[in-house]
Structure 1
Amino acid sequence: MTTLDQAKSTARDTVATRMGDLSQWTRTIWDYGETAWREYKSCAFYVDLLRREGFEVEEGSGGMPTAFCATWSNGEGPTIGGYAEYDGIPGNCQAAEPKQGPRPGLGPHAGGHTDPHSALGMGALGGFLATKAAMEKHDIKGTLKFFGEPAEKVRGSKPIHAAAGYYDDLDAALSFHPFYMAPLCNTVRWDTHCGVGYGVIYEFTCDTPETWMAGGDGSPIPASHAAARAPGATDALMMMYNAAKALREHVMAPGQSWSMNETIISHGQATADNIPAQIAQIQYFIRISEVEDAEHVIRGLDHFAENAARMNHCSWRRHWVAKSRPGLANHAISAATYANLETVGAPVWGEEAKTFARAIQTELGLEPMAEPFLPMISELKDPEAAEAEMRHILPPSQRHFTSDDYTEFCWHAPTVRLYIGRPALTAPSGFAYPAWAMNAMGGHSACIDPMVEVAAQVLAMTALDVLMDAELLAMAQAEFRDRTGGGVGGDKWIAPLCDHEPPIHFRWPEYVTTARGEDWVIPTVPRQGD
């Protein structure tokens, strides 16, 4: 057995030994259910844990209160980057139970984990802790750099970390995500990586309503209460909302696969019916293939915002939330990662998980199945076969598909994107499971732990490959230089797009503590009979 094989064996044993911890930690983050830019408890949990594990941790990295950068070194050698995400989604509060219902003490509108990032982060952390254990035991030189990346759901932190130089010293980066879209299950991305993600908030303010219509000569104030009031910010927001729906038909060429979704961040602020709304904010998020396409859409949104403001006696501003670059393939490190996945094997679910899954089926009025889980979550998928299936649904000219900001790492070091199967249920013909069913399994240890364990083992093995196999690292970096036209700064390299401060001061949904106790920004409404 080679030293590399011995190190990988140590790493896999470490993951197995620490699965009790990883399981408990996964559930802790899942229970917090914190959302973008407000992951206070989740971040603090990671920071404390990493320090106890011997890492040096910078809190608030990149000017983001819920981000961190943790570093551990065993001497001069390659630097490997990885990360945890820990933001959930508002409106997805679900208990780890086989029936629909929020976590105790909360309403359904509170935050919850859907992907789930709670398990994504612990799968990655488990891999890095196992790598560290192998490095210590076998005296392997190198540095581990583990990031806390908040607000992935709005592509928030990685563009900021990248622009601030946090990824500049990486020799390779490892990205893991639970399976969420066929055929990307128990495989790695090959050529078609995620595309551009642009997030932007348009703010309308009605600062001078008195100039909308002057009062009559007999009015002692600029605009009397009987006079018509200025339309104001809410009217501008609604006009923007409706007008922007035209973008899909009139901005992008037919056939392009892209999306744009909106969220109202805040509105109103009026104190009486005849006082116009002073401020309103609407957020748009654009998932698209290329940077120039995203810029084109922004120009269209700017046009709508300008006209909506003008027609409703408002001013407007554009605030950036995210500017993430498209992904960049690296076959060398991806092939090595998939080889490790072949060694470990796909996750396997036991009887306790199946019992939970059958209880969900019974709750939904279905006949419980002997094998309730989708077969694909326990099957490996060859990366090139997955690539061919994905390309089948895309126009030949479209280079990227969907959006995730792991792509920021791709422009600073060879990066792999790993997908591991998560619990998903087989559906009878014509039936679609509600979202709560998958969310509930993300919090049930027997359901989610098999994915965490496999991910941790594969990530650790790949990190050790990069640290110990000089030929592999040289191949991956040569490919990186070729794809970027010379490496960082090359003629095909895309520099960080982020030119804005962390958007942490907006009214992002969060948990609050009031005289009622801990609650969500949308108050918990007692259910009938409570």
Structure 2
Amino acid sequence: MTAAKDTARATVRARMGEISRWTRDIWDFGETAWREYKSCAYYVDLLRSEGFEVEEGSAGMPTAFCATWSNGDGPTIGGYAEYDGIPGNCQAAEPRKAPRPGLGPHAGGHTDPHSALGMGSLGGFLAAKAAMEAHNIPGRLKFFGEPAEKVRGSKPIHAAAGYYDDLDAAISFHPFYMAPLCNTVRWDTHCGVGYGVIYEFTCDAPETWMAGEDASPIPASHAAARAPGATDAMVQMYQSAKALREHVMAPGQSWSMNEAILSHGQATADNIPAQIAQIQYFIRISEVSEAEHIIRGLDHFAEAAAQLCHCSWRRHWVAKSRPGLPNHAMARATYANLEAVGAPVWGEEAADFARAIQAELGLDPMADPFLPMISKLTPPEEAERQIRQVLPPSQRHFTSDDYTEYCWHAPTVRLYIGRPALTAPEGFAYPAWAMNALGGHPATIDPMTEVAAQVIAMTALDCLTDPALLETAQAEFRQRTAQEHIPPLCDYAPPLHFRWPEYVTTARGEDWVIPAHGQ
């Protein structure tokens, strides 16, 4: 353990009170994709107060930023915060199901939680900065604000705009969210492609539907038939796309496609057809070619639905995120630091909170309520072996997350630290609110955040002070990208103008787009 790493770890421990408070503040904001105004401003102010130069609205995204701090000539190390939550997950940091004060359950909230993801990363970068100053270590830290991760929003746009081109290495952290990726790093099987697309249907000439030579431009009575309209087209699209999976991919291939209705209607009377409707699809799959294949199928369905329902249609891009790329040198160094720090340890206050959740759900509170795996290390090769057991040999990537954009610009590690999760009795599944509450309570979430910050700081310092490590990681990066190179796929503007859910200020105060109490 070097003196610089000792300084970094001590800095994290000394500042955990602040980091905990920052984490809870972002958690309480609960803002969702493309509308994280308070969260972004919070990070910008915080980073400036810590001496970083901050570009707001980077790459044309109002809730993104790019912050840099330099201590002289040296390597540039990249990292990032995410801070978007999810609609419909508004939960108080309490051991019972309840929305945050003044809001309803349909408002946004943190599930992963990105609040701790971002502050764990920032805590690591601030600790690395303190060690660089104390030990005169040259180099540059580049820290990004990455909005809209839940729709793979900002990173493909930042990548295409060149923001990652000057990185020498990058560190990506995520709270554990699925076995066996807990207290480990990704090895060979990284996340796959994420494509997000919105199909928009418009009924812009309803008067021409079934029109004949003697047709009146205005129906003579309210009993006259009207054009089906945009909502009908959207429903046709929804039904058709449900059958897509079995027709476009080989049996056994692991992928998912989910949809969400963004807007519909704009009709002012029952005999006026809906003018516009939008439905979003998100595809998680292994390869770019497979994602493109699915998009072609969706295009066919959109065309058929539009023709059937007297509409026109357009496709809008939300995300084109590339698959991940391994870097064993970065993975080994990061996991060695995780071994030095150790897995998170939860104290009695955290256990009491967890047991209160179990009692609220009618369970017998457990002496040790937490999953054993969140306090154990998993070597990356073992995690890889377990992942491969459930995948076809031909499938190279699994699940999706847009950290993968960094992988094509610099050697990148994907770090997972155990987040609080409860042991379930046989046959029982915890409701989502329980996991969300654990992510907002300091005693339950801070152990994960502290470990993550220490490991991130130590890995950044390795990249800054160990030329052999950085040279090995970059040589591996060059070799892998020479074998397969995927340039940025983003060829679209930031999709800011759609009806993304958000908090609004009204005469009633701050509210969600779905009224807080059903009023």
- TM-score band by shorter chain is over 0.9
Name the residue aligned to 2:135: 138
Aligned 8 A contact 1:55 1:71 in 2: yes
2:410 to 409, 413, 416: 413
Paired with 1:220 and 1:347, the residues of 2 have a C-alpha distance of 70
CA distance in 1, matches of 2:293, 2:214: 48
The counterpart of 1:238, out of the listed 235, 238, 251, is 235
CA distance in 2, matches of 1:223, 1:345: 77
* Structure 2: distance between partners of 1:396 and 1:213: 53
The offset of 1:223, in angstroms, is: 6.6
Contact 1:120 1:177 in 2 (8 A): yes
For 1:374, the aligned partner's letter is L
What is the alpha-carbon distance in structure 1 between the residues aligned to residue 309 and residue 264 of structure 2?
14
TM-score (norm 2): 0.99
Q: 1:218 to 1:190 in 2, by over 3 A?
A: closer
CA offsets, 1:229-263, max 9 Å, x none?
00000000000000001111101111100000000
1:294 matches 2:286 = no
* Equivalent pair of 2:255/2:285 in contact (CA under 8 Å): yes
In structure 2, the partner of 1:121 is 118
- 1:386 paired residue among 383, 386, 393: 383
Task: Summarize deviations over 1:343-395 as a string: whole Å, max 9, x none.
Answer: 00000000000000000000000000000000100000010000000000000
Q: Is the 1:215–1:222 Cα contact (8 Å) retained in structure 2?
A: no
Write the distance in 1 (CA, Å) between the matches of 2:248 and 2:460. 43
2:511 match: 519
C-alpha distance in 2 between matches for 1:114 and 1:353: 18
Partners of 2:434 and 2:469 in 1: CA distance? 41
Q: TM-score, normalised by structure 1?
A: 0.97
Following TM superposition, by how much is the alpha carbon of 1:304 offset from its aligned partner in structure 2, in angstroms?
0.1
Name which of 431, 437, 440 aligns with 1:440.
Answer: 437
Find the partner of 2:282 among 285, 290, 300: 285
User: CA offsets, 1:377-423, max 9 Å, x none?
Assistant: 00000100000000000000000000000000000000000000000
The alpha carbon displacement at 1:526 in A equals: 5.2
| Superposed displacement of residue 524, structure 1 | 1.5
1:373 to 357, 370, 377: 370
Distance in 2 between residues matched to 1:215 and 1:322, nearest whole Å: 43
CA distance in 2, matches of 1:123, 1:236: 45
Name which of 318, 323, 327 aligns with 2:315: 318
- Relative to 1, partners in 2 of residues 1:460 and 1:223: Cα closer, same or farther, differing over 3 Å? farther
Distance of aligned partners of 1:495 and 1:219 in 2 relative to their CA distance in 1, 3 Å threshold = closer
Name 1:488's counterpart in structure 2: none
User: Counterpart of 1:221?
Assistant: 218
Once the 2 structures are TM-superposed, how far is the Cα of residue 217 of structure 1 from its aligned partner?
4.5
**What is the match of residue 37 of structure 2?**
40
Residue from 356, 361, 364 that aligns with 1:364: 361
- Find the counterpart in structure 2 of residue 22 from structure 1: 19
Does the CA contact (< 8 Å) of 1:213 and 1:228 recur in 2?
A: no
CA distance in 1, matches of 2:290, 2:106: 34
Q: Kindly provide the amino acid, as one letter, of the partner of residue 322 in structure 2.
A: R
Question: Equivalences for 1:51-450 in 2 at 5 Å?
Answer: 51-214=48-211, 217=214, 219=216, 221=218, 225-450=222-447
What is the distance in 2 between the residues matched to 1:193 and 1:182?
14
Conserved in 2, the CA contact under 8 Å of 1:214 and 1:222? no
Shift of 1:514: 1.0
SS at match of 1:239: helix
Does the CA contact (< 8 Å) of 1:210 and 1:223 recur in 2? no
Deviation, 1:517, is 1.2
Three-state SS of the structure 2 residue aligned to 1:103 is: coil
CA distance in 2 between counterparts of 1:352 and 1:207 reads: 60
Identity, in percent, stands at: 83
**SS of residue paired to 1:174:** strand
Residue pair 2:78, 2:171 contacting (<8 A) in 1 also: yes
Please tell me whether residue 474 in structure 1 is matched to residue 471 in structure 2.
Answer: yes
Q: How far apart, in 1, do the equivalents of 2:113 and 2:72 lie?
A: 34
Measure, in 2, the Cα distance between the counterparts of 1:31 and 1:440: 11
How many Å apart are 1:215 and its aligned residue? 7.6
Contact 1:50/1:57, CA 8 A, preserved across alignment: yes
The Cα offsets for residues 260-300 of structure 1, whole Å up to 9 and x where unpaired, read as 00000001111011000000000000000000000000000
- Residue 493 of structure 1: aligned partner: 485
SS across alignment from 1:261: strand
Alpha-carbon distance between aligned partners in 1 of 2:487 and 2:214, rounded to the nearest angstrom: 60
Cα distance between partner residues in 1 of 2:220 and 2:234: 23
CA distance in 2, matches of 1:172, 1:215: 66
| In 2, Cα distance between equivalents of 1:468 and 1:525 | 55
2:207, 2:218 within 8 Å by CA — same for their partners in 1? no
Q: Give the distance between the partners of 2:170 and 2:470, measured in 1 at CA.
A: 11
SS of aligned partner of 1:408: helix
2:170 alignment partner, SS class: strand
Q: Considering only aligned residues, what root-mean-square deviation do their CA atoms show, in Å?
A: 1.2
Following the alignment from structure 2 to structure 1, what is the Cα–Cα distance between the partners of residues 425 and 53? 50
- Could you tell me whether the CA contact under 8 Å between 1:215 and 1:227 is conserved in 2? no
What is the CA-CA distance between 1:220 and the residue it aligns to? 7.1
Say how many residue pairs are matched.
519
Task: Please give the alpha-carbon distance, in whole angstroms, between the structure 1 residues aligned to 2:93 and 2:493.
Answer: 37
Q: CA deviation at 1:221?
A: 3.0
Whether the 8 Å CA contact 2:183–2:376 is kept in 1: the answer is: yes
Amino acid in the other structure paired with 1:118: S
| In 2, Cα distance between equivalents of 1:226 and 1:364 | 54
Match of 1:507 in 2: 499
C-alpha distance in 2, partners of 1:189/1:382?
10
CA positional deviation for 1:54: 0.2
Question: Is 1:454 equivalent to 2:425 in the alignment?
Answer: no
CA distance in 1, matches of 2:383, 2:216: 72
2:415 and 2:509 map into 1 onto residues whose CA distance is 40
2-structure distance, mates of 1:198, 1:223: 46
Q: Secondary structure at the match of 1:424?
A: coil
